[in-house]
Amino acid sequence: MRSFIIAAASLATVAFALPEPMFSGKLARRDATCMSADEANQVALNFNHLISDYSDDSANATLTEGFVDYSDSVISLIDGGCTGPLPLGHPTFDSRASFISGQGSQPNIPFEQLNVWYNCDTVILRWRTTLDFTTPAPEFVTGIIVLETTAAPGNTEQPWLINTVYSEFNSGAWLVDLGTFVPNCTVSSRRLLRA
């Protein structure tokens, strides 16, 4: 019993030592090293605008110069499911300039934010596309984005800049929606997963 009490006290001490907020929109900012719930939501909206209502000014205002974006899902779309110029596992964009060049040449992609979680310097965003394809989209595309940020001291408009993005989504559904892949939904054509 005594060891249980010591273990419980140790856990309580560790819990109080952890920086707040830890994946909650209810905890207030303790100091300048942790973002608040409002700041986390602003980071999520900033990234949403970069995809759904892109502008160079917005990219320059909300991304660090050394910004890096990783997404095998995007690479799969770029390569159309084939081996292409971007190998899986490599950065999709390796700087803010390459993001501006790539994203700036793409049509806007509206998406709905489903959930936002955060800790001191990272925002996690769950989303679903609201893109209206020319024919009714046969598949919903839902994804997760992890946004690692850097504090921008003295920047009252954007106190947290996006430094690194890790993004994955159902690129197979997106390729179906674009008409790149036509699904064959017969039972004999499906791969069955076995436990």
Cα 127 to Cα 115: distance, rounded to the nearest angstrom:
7
Query: Which domains are delineated in the chain?
Result: 29-189 (3.10.450.50)
Contact 66, 95 (CB under 8 A): yes
Q: Tell me, what's the pLDDT at 85?
A: 78
Q: Tell me, what's the pLDDT at 6?
A: 44
Contact 171, 76 (CB under 8 A): yes
pLDDT category, 116, cuts 50, 70, 90? Answer: very high
Instruction: Return the minimum-mean-pLDDT range out of 77-81, 107-111, 122-126, 177-181.
Output: 177-181
Instruction: Read off the pTM.
Output: 0.74
148 Cβ contact partners less than 8 Å away, ≥ 6 residues apart: 121, 122, 162, 163, 164, 165, 166
182 Cβ contact partners less than 8 Å away, ≥ 6 residues apart: 176
Give the pLDDT mean for 53-62.
96
Reference 38, options 137, 123, 163; nearest CA is: 123
Reference 38, options 28, 30, 48; nearest CA is: 28
